Structures are given as C-alpha cells and as structure tokens.
Structure 1
C-alpha cells in the first residue's frame, strides 16, 4: 500500500507524520494491528478499522458489499471466519482472518486457494517432524511491542515494535531448517540480516538510558556519611572510604578523565557530615549529561543509517510471518472439519457430500451424526448431479434440512470467494455476488413490503448473481404468497443468475410457474422409536417433497400424557386421513417443460 492510499472516510492521516512513521502505519495496516494502529497514527479506533477493511478490500479488488449483497450474507461470512480465526496462534493472524473479504477475481481466489494448499503442506511437514506444537508456540509470539519512545527516533521505534516478530522469524529459520517447506516460505528472509538488525537494536537501546547523575552522587554522599558515622577515627581510613565511593561514581557513570577531575574538585572534606560542593556538582552533571546526550545522538544516527534501508523488507517479512500463522490456522480447520479445495468455474455451483460447518463445529469437528448432502444449481462443469437449471425450488418435510441445505450452499459459495477450503468432498463455484435471505422467525407489520423492496430490485438487475431465499410464505396468506413467489421464480428463470427457493407452498406456487425450473424434494419416511422424524436429508431431484404434518401430529400424540390431549391429536389425525385423497401439491409434470424437452430431443 502506497502513501496516497492511506486515506480515511473522514479525511486523511495527520500531515505531520514522518516518512518512517508512515511506513510504520502501513506495516501495521498490512499486519492488521487493530490495537496499536490508533495511537500510532493518531486516529480513532473506528477509522483504524476502516483503514484495515479498505486494505483487505484492495487485496480482494472489490468492496465487500458488492459481493455479499445482504446483511444475512455478511453475518454468515463473519460466523464462518470465526471457525478459521479460532485456530490461529497469534492475535494478529486472528485479526487478519476475521477481516478477510471475498473476491470475484478468479486470479485472487486461486492465489488464496494456493496459499491454503501451501499451508497444508507446511502443516504436514511439521506433523511429520512431530514439532507442530513447538512451531505454533513460536508463532504465538507474533505481536507488536508497545511504543516506548526512549530514543525519540521513529526509525528505532519502528524496529523496536517489531522485535518480538523478528525474533520469532529468526527462531523459525534456525530451528526449523530441516523443514524445506518452511524455508521456502521465507525464501527472501536472511537470518544474518535479522541478527544484525536485532543486535543493532539491542546495542542502541542499551545505551539509550541516561542515568540521573545527580541522584547517583547524592546516594554516594549518603553512603559515605553512613560509613563515617560507624566510628571510623583514622583519617586515612576515612579518605580511603571517600576515594572508593568516588571511584564507584566514576565507574557507574562512565566518566571521562576531565569529569573525574571535576568530581574530585567537588570533594570538600572528610569530616562529618560529608558533602560535595553543590555548585561544582551541578557543573559536573551538566557537562556529563551534555556529553552523554551527544553520544546517544551519534549512536542513534548511526543505527538509523544502518536500519532504515531494511524497513520495507521488515514490513514484508512481518506480513509474511502473520500470513504463515493464518494459512496454518486454515490448514488446522481444514483437517478438523474435513475441508477441501473447491474448483473455480463459470457454469454453476455444486458440491458432493457437503456438510454444514456450524453443525460440525457443534460436534467438535466430527461428522458421524451428520448426513452429507450433494446438490447443485446451474451447470457446474465438474459436478453432474441433476438437470441443470438456474432456478430451483426446494420442497419437503418440516425439519428435513431444507434451511440447512440452503445455508450450506451459501457457506460453500462464500468460503470459496474468500479463497478458503469448503466442507465438502468436492465442490465447484462460479464467482458471483450472493443475495442470502434467511427465514425470519417473527412476522412483523410491513414485512411483505420490506421483502419486496429488497427482492424486486435484485431481480430487475440482470447482472449474474446467486440468490438464496428461505421461506417467504410466512409474510402473507398462502394464496397470495404462492402467486408472488411464482412471479419471482418466473423472473429468475429468464436470467443467467442462480436462484434457490426453499418453500412449503408448492401447491400454491407451481400452477403459476411459466418457465422451466427444477423442483426438488426432501422426504420423511416415518418416526423412529424415540418419536423423531426419519428423514432422508439428501433431496430427490425432480421430485416434489411431501410435507410432514401427519408425522408431526403422530409424534405429539405419542408424547401426550393426558388422555384428553391425546384424543384431540387423534381427531386431527383423522381429519388429515379424510383429506388424504386430495392432492397436497401440484403435479410435477408441466406441459411447457415437456415441450421444451421434446424440442431439445428433436434438435439433438
């Protein structure tokens, strides 16, 4: 990031920043140092976060809100990144992962996926050596030191703030030279240069503290008087005590010969109470301090000349070290949750044996209790599961997993756009913005208006996008909802966008659908011995899923303890049985779909 890019929504960085301080700020931005950046740059925490976000969006080559088009999509992205950030060893790497933004640039996405592959290779090599935990302990030291401003030099403060990070990198280079993947990751790092930087920093900081000479002399004066009070009667002995203390002062303050002579000249008497000539002491201290300040200034200038040329390299190295921690965190999450690298295509979105990342996290990374699901929309080139359709309606059993499937598809798409591995055995996605509309628990006045205000502009925009909608029907009465949703589906089917709608209203919707769409269904087969639904969560393609009110009422009837309550449930079941002959949902056979199929076969 160059200097002109350090601009904020509310203005620019303070104009009085030195070039060294600006380099420091740029490095902190790339390192995602949200804690240290505000005080260093003289800005608010909010503006600091704005700078970090802008930097991440520049890396992605697009603003996040142009990719994740709804609040639901952005919230899902934040929740997904928590999974990866939780595996990071350092706070800086955690920040970097949490602030990651998605991209629609295929090159950016593939470069990030390549980094995920590199992270796995490094992780595997460390595991083979049995030194993964040792390595992560070193990475946990990646942090900026608080500013101390001892020397008044922005250059030295730059390096002092990065001392722990440079020390950690040097330790990695020296202790893990037998791990080629680690060495290649830091191919541009020179351990001798790192040692030189750290040694220079230690040398100048060791000489940066100018002692309080007047206090040293005053303390010696008290010690001399204390010794003389202990009954030293021999004058020669008393003189010896004074001379010894004078020698200690000279040694402690590293005095020159001229300063030593001034000190001796300030010695007045060995009688009690012993004291130095105050005027002489003030003169001595003034000259001594002036010399020390000149020496320190010379050391600082020499160190600055030596270190300044390494500032850009060190910023790059710090960023690289934090990146290493980040990709190892991704590798750790990938191993824990069985994540794989997705393909990046153009035709559609699909996955084989996909799983919900959040359910896996609840199970501690395990998958035995989760039924994997395979699904696709559009025409992904590497995954052939169902009839390629851009508009798909998902129907079926209550609590059958329709919403989970929709969220899984959204998660896989967003993770792929972030350049991260996804929870599936195989997956492919096409870079495009995503509109995610999750089901709202409560129905509020004006909800229909709000949803239509959100959806209609989306459908009117013909740019390609992924639209995922979960149960709009609760917003108004079923008949009207069916017609509204059908019109939305008809519009979606005429575009290149990918559209998935989860609904219970197939009966009300499908008679009004005028264009080719795919209707899939999830089925429940009954109840187990515990009264839980037996559901095949893998959707059946080109099949209308049946609702499960009968099974749910049977479960409630079994669980009822009061005879009157059980009898009422049985009456409801009987009512359902009387209407069993009536079609619950419209048939799947549509004349326009059959005509389309016949025309295609005749052209083949």
Structure 2
C-alpha cells in the first residue's frame, strides 16, 4: 500500500507508518491501537488515517455528508454508538465507520455489523471489558548484569541497534573477556574467535546472538507480558464470559503468567528466592553472627577466673603478645564454640548450600580474637558468589519462561485484539437494541420508513411516537408548528446516514436508494441580509447542478427572505432537483404557494393535527401523502367556532374566519 495515497497522509506520516511492525495489516483491519503506535500519531489521528485507508481501498472519494448539518447528524449518531463502548479503543475504532456512496464499502461494513448485532451484551462480558486496553510495547527495558562483547566495530554497532537492552563492550583478547566476566554475571561473546577460550566466569560464545536476541535478553519478552498482564488476564475473562473460542490455550497461558512477577521477574522458583533472600540479608546476617560470637565470648569471660603466673605474664609481655594470645591459651575452647554458634546462625539465616557455606565460614576467623569481627574480603567474596548465582539462576529461569510466553505472543495479541473488537461489536449491538434498529434494504427510489423513531430526540424510545413516511422525488412537507416536521427530517437523515454507514436503522422496516450525497439545510434564524441571501442561493445553485441521485433535506428555506420571493425561489429549486433525479423534502409553511408556482408536479405531504385538547395540540406524527396540512391558527378558529355553537353559520364571526382558510 502506498501510504501517501491515503487521504490526509503526507510524507512525514507515511514514514511514521512505515516504522510499524505490520502497517498494511493494521490499516486494512482498522486497528487504531496499532496505527497509534507509529511515532507522533494520536489515537484520534490514527482513526482518521484508518478511515482514509478504507476510502482508498474502496476508491471512495468521500463527501457523502455534503453540509454541516449532515455532518452534525453523523457526529450525533456516532456519539450514541460510541457512548455504548466500554473501552477507549472501541470508541476510536467506531470512528472508522462513515457513510459512503460506494456499495462495496457499505456491504463490507454491513457484514461486520450483521455479525455484531447478534452479539449478546452480557453484563459479565461488559464488566470484564473494563480492564482490557491495547497492548503496549515496552521500550524502557535495560539489563545491567549481562553484556555483549565483540572485537569488531561494525558488529558492535549492529549489536547496539539490535539489542538496546544490553550493554555492548569492545574487547581485544581473552584477557579483556576475563575482565568483563569479573564485572558481569554473564558475558556473551559475539566472535567465533573466542570459541574455546578458557576464562573464569559465565562466558558464552554466541555468534548468532544478534539474530536471536530473545535467548540472550529474555527480559524483552517478559517485560511485554508483565506490562500487559492486566489486559491479558481481562481478555481471557472476556473470552470465557462471552463463550468465545480463544486463539491460544488460555490455561497454559495463565499458568505461565502466574510465574511472572509484576516487575518482569520470575516468581515461584524456590532456589531463586533463596538466593535473592541471601543477597538481601547478607549484611544483617553477618552482623548478627558477630553479635552471637561476641555475646557468648563475653559471657564466658565473665564466668571464667583466669590466673596468670608472674613468669608467664613476663613471657607474654616479652613476646609482645596481647589479649588475643591470652584468649587463645585460656579460652580457646570457648572461642571455638562461640564462632561455631555464630557460623551456624549465619548458615541457617542465609540458608546456604555447601559451597556457599565454605565461603561463609571464612567470614569469621578461626584464630581467637576479641571482639570477633568479620573479614570484609570474605564477605565480599560470598556476596559476589551469591549475586552471580542469583543472576545466573534468574537468567536461566527468565529464558525458560520467556520461551514459553514468546510461543504464545501471537495468540495473546489476537486474544486482546479479539476482546477489543468484541467491544466494538457490542457497542453496535447495544445501539441496535436500545433504538429498535433493523437492517435497511437498498433498492427502488427515494426513502420508505415504517415505524421509525428518531434516536436524536431527547425522549426515551418508548415515548417516541413511531413515524411512517415514504417519499420519492421533490416533496413539500407541511404541518403545524411543533408538529414534528423537523424531527421527521432528522429521522430521514439519520436513516440515510446509518444505512450508508452499513449500520442498522431505527425503524421496523426501511427501504431506500443508495444516494450519492446527503444535503441537509437547517432552518435559518431569521431573514438573511443581501450578502448572506446571495451566498445561500449560490449554495443551492451548486446543489441543483451537481451529481444525480442526491438526498436533499431543507427546513423552512422561505425564512431567508420575503414570503413571495421565497416561494418562487423554492419552486425553482424543486424544479431543478426533479431534473437531477434527486429525492428532496422541503419543510415549508408555504407549501400551497410553492406548489402553485412550480412548473413540475411537486408532492405535498402533511403532518396532520387532529385537534386541540385541553389547550395542547394533538398530532398524527406520520405525514399523510398528498395532503396540505392545516395550520395551527385554522385549528384554533375551528375550535372557537365549535365552542360558540355557530360553526355552521357562515355569517358568524368565527365562521367567516374559517372561510378564509378554505
């Protein structure tokens, strides 16, 4: 796919998209989360790019929503669907659906939607979805106890780019390798020339390490699963609650993730835990061992009477001996017992194995001294041994766990994506259920709606009176004030927009033609000045001379200028629209005057008021075909005449007024 061919994508954005792992797949499937991982792209921008890619795929020039009011209707409808999404991903993904003039795109969307409306929005599924978020790719993994080593500068640069998580060192010979082995738990040599070199420490020769980084830096895979553990577990819950077939074996996945700590370390390994505790507790344990030895010696000295002959004392002084010599001669057994007790405490506290215990015993000297003090070099050697053992054990367990999880990586990505896409489907399903929607039927001319209820009305669906309305060609819609004329236009617009999005429509049954554009002009707020009037007439000139097959909805255009002039203008527009094979509904209080001035047959439908009851207007919301609706003033005069009892007397005041409406 040529990225710059996507509407709205320039060279900079195309370069950012090229950095994605599988940009074509993400664009083809509308994966907003994957697209948003491109450098510098927000989720909103990603949704627009995905929508542009869909248009490109269907050779869709766009522009179905030809007026601001039409675009507003689309935004409002989309908001109703989006607010039924649980995840932010689904809310953004729904933005990739748009009303199209291309049959291929409409059918593609309808295929998705028809599967979606069969989904059951179970509360347990919706609850599980709350913790599902798109997977992140951690880019902050750094490992300090392991390094790569090479003699080649070019290989050095290659290794730094391929494995940024590890330090890379330049070495010249085996001596340099040995130096590195003293500072790192593991050294991975990249040069075949180092094979067979005998150096102390954990040194591995892996010329292929850069090509297979997963083995030498398992932290990369573990960080991915640790960072996304909450979302992965939630996605598992979603699949179970919804009864979906998972793309991977979830029991084994959960078992593997139970062994992964939240920080990316390996959990549940007793030996690794023992070594980690020993490293952490070493200083404290050594300090306590010193106290044990000194407390026992101090007690022994208090309880022991020591007698020194004068000649012995003189001999000790001449030899320059001090208290240590006296301690060795008089309390050697007690000293050995005190040190033995201290060593036992140290070995027990740190739970050391036999090799580690030999190092630990050297921390306290066999030669009597008081107070007993640690040998810092011996402590450092033990610490070095424990840290190296811990790191080697951790690296081994990490490699094992990383291999297990890496094998499931692809399945996990499908698992989470499946949960997120399910939320998209459930949002559509909930919208369809909440507004009693059905799939529209394309065919014939104009629009035919049975049992339509506009989702844009503020009332609850059950409180909205259903509307039946069929219209072909240019039509005038008349009716009393507050009778529902504008709501009818909104219903027709909503049906057209949703149907061309491939979405279900809020009605019992709908049939409509596939329109090229939707033009919806809302009612002007008052008479326009000359400049604004001229601009409005130009807009209708462009509309009337444009493409065939448009749906045009206009609300009280006559309000833009004087009534006599506006009737002539509307009549002229309707004549031109009839020539362009357009379906048009013009709401007007001047329907009779406009019809008389038109040179073509213009249908006039009416939203009939059935009367005034208790001061409130009662209306049949479904327009009556071929009937010019009576006005509110006529109904009021009729009511007054009836109350007067002289409605049959045309000579009376109210009767004379009624005659004026005939």
CA contact (8 A) 1:145 1:160 kept: no
| Match for residue 390 of structure 1 among 441, 456, 473 | 473
Cα gap change, 1:349/1:140 in structure 2, threshold over 3 Å: closer, same or farther?
same
Instruction: Give 3-state SS (helix, strand or coil) of 1:371's partner.
Output: coil
1:351 aligns with 2:483: no
1:375 aligns with 2:469: yes
| Residue in 1 that maps onto 2:151 | none
Cα drift, residue 402 of structure 1: 0.5
Query: 1:159/1:241 Cα in 2 relative to 1: closer, same or farther (>3 Å)?
Result: same
Report the more deviating stretch, 339-348 or 420-429. Answer: 339-348
| Alignment of 1:479 onto 2:544 | no
Residue 132 of structure 2 is matched in structure 1 by 142
Structure 2 partner of 1:217: 282
The aligned residue for residue 571 of structure 1 is: none
SS in 1 for 2:520: strand
Give the match for residue 332 of structure 1: 430
Verify: 1:439 aligned to 2:523, yes or no.
yes
Deviation at 1:526, TM superposition (A): 2.5
| Separation in structure 1 between the aligned mates of residue 61 and residue 255 of structure 2, nearest angstrom | 43
1:492 aligns with 2:577: yes
Aligned partners of 2:28 and 2:54 also within 8 Å: no
> 8 Å contact 2:637–2:657 — kept in the other structure?
no
Q: Which residue in 1 is equivalent to 2:626?
A: 542
Does residue 420 (structure 1) correspond to residue 490 (structure 2)? The answer is: no
SS of the residue 2:620 aligns to: strand
1:408 CA drift (Å): 0.3
Deviation track 1:376-402 (CA, whole Å, cap 9, x = no partner) reads 23xxxxxxxxxxx32111112111111
CA–CA distance in 1 between the matches of 2:27 and 2:253? 17
Map Cα deviations across residues 199-227 of structure 1 (whole Å, 9 max, x no partner): 45554657944979876434445655777
Structure with max Cα Rg: 2
SS at match of 2:622: strand
Stretches of structure 2 lacking an aligned partner (at least 5 in a row) = 143-164, 166-218, 267-275, 301-334, 641-651
Secondary structure at the counterpart of residue 448 of structure 2 = strand
Runs of 5+ consecutive residues of structure 1 not aligned to the other structure: 127-131, 177-181, 378-388, 557-573, 585-604
**C-alpha contact 1:355 1:373 (8 A) present in aligned 2:** yes
Partner of 1:80: 77
User: Residues 290-331 of structure 1: CA distance to partner in whole angstroms, max 9, x if unpaired?
Assistant: 666666666666666665566555444433322322323333
Which residue number corresponds to residue 67 of structure 1?
64
> 1:444 & 1:295 partners in 2: Cα distance?
82
Q: Within 5 A, what are the aligned runs for 1:151-550?
A: 152=165, 155-160=221-226, 162-174=228-240, 182-183=243-244, 186=245, 189-192=246-249, 194-201=250-257, 203=259, 208-209=264-265, 216-221=281-286, 233=299, 236=337, 239-241=340-342, 243-245=344-346, 248-249=349-350, 265=362, 277=376, 313-345=411-443, 347-359=445-457, 362-363=459-460, 365=461, 367=462, 369-377=463-471, 389-432=472-515, 433-441=517-525, 445=529, 446-529=531-614, 531-550=615-634
Q: Does residue 90 of structure 1 match 2:87?
A: yes
User: How far apart are 1:348 and its partner, in Å?
Assistant: 2.9
Cα distance, 1:407–1:206 mapped onto 2, change above 3 Å: closer
For 2:474 and 2:469, the matched residues in 1 are separated by 13
Question: Aligned-pair distance for 1:166?
Answer: 3.9
Shift of 1:516: 2.7
Q: Secondary structure at the match of 1:439?
A: coil
Task: Provide the secondary structure at the position in 1 that maps to 2:475.
Answer: strand
Q: Tell me how far apart the structure 2 counterparts of residues 327 and 409 of structure 1 sit (CA, whole Å).
A: 25
In structure 2, C-alpha distance between the alignment counterparts of 1:374 and 1:140, rounded to whole Å: 39
Contact 1:473 1:481 in 2 (8 A): yes
Q: Is the 8 A contact 2:136 2:224 kept in 1?
A: no
CA distance, structure 2, for counterparts of residue 93 and residue 497 of structure 1: 36
Q: C-alpha separation between the residues in 1 aligned to 2:637 and 2:295?
A: 100
* In structure 1, distance between residues paired with 2:370 and 2:582: 100
Task: Identify if the C-alpha distance between structure 1 residues 434 and 24 changes in structure 2 by more than 3 Å, giving closer, same or farther.
Answer: closer
Offset, 1:424? 0.9
Secondary structure of the structure 2 residue equivalent to 1:540: coil
Once the two structures are TM-superposed, the CA of residue 476 in structure 1 deviates from its matched residue by 1.6
Q: Give the drift of 1:17.
A: 8.8
Distance change (3 Å), C-alpha of 1:402 and 1:27? closer
Partner Cα distance (1:212, 1:29) in 2: 49
Spell out, residue by residue over 1:11-49, the C-alpha distance to the aligned partner (whole angstroms, 9 max, x if none): 2377699765x6799499945449xx76x544253xx31
Aligned 8 A contact 2:550 2:583 in 1: yes
**Partner SS state of residue 101, structure 2:** coil
1:230-252: per-residue Cα shift (whole Å, max 9, x none)? 8884764565355434554466x
**Kept in 2: contact 1:64–1:101 (CA 8 A):** no
Tell me, in whole angstroms, the C-alpha distance in 1 between the residues paired with 2:17 and 2:93. 28
Cα distance in structure 2, aligned partners of 1:237 and 1:122: 75
d(CA) in 2 for partners of 1:308, 1:27 = 25
Deviation at 1:500, TM superposition (A): 1.5
Q: 1:106 touches 1:344 (CA, 8 Å); kept in 2?
A: no
- TM-score when scaled to structure 2? 0.66
Q: In structure 2, what is the Cα distance between the partners aligned to 1:289 and 1:425?
A: 72
Aligned length, in residue pairs: 523
TM-score (norm 1): 0.71
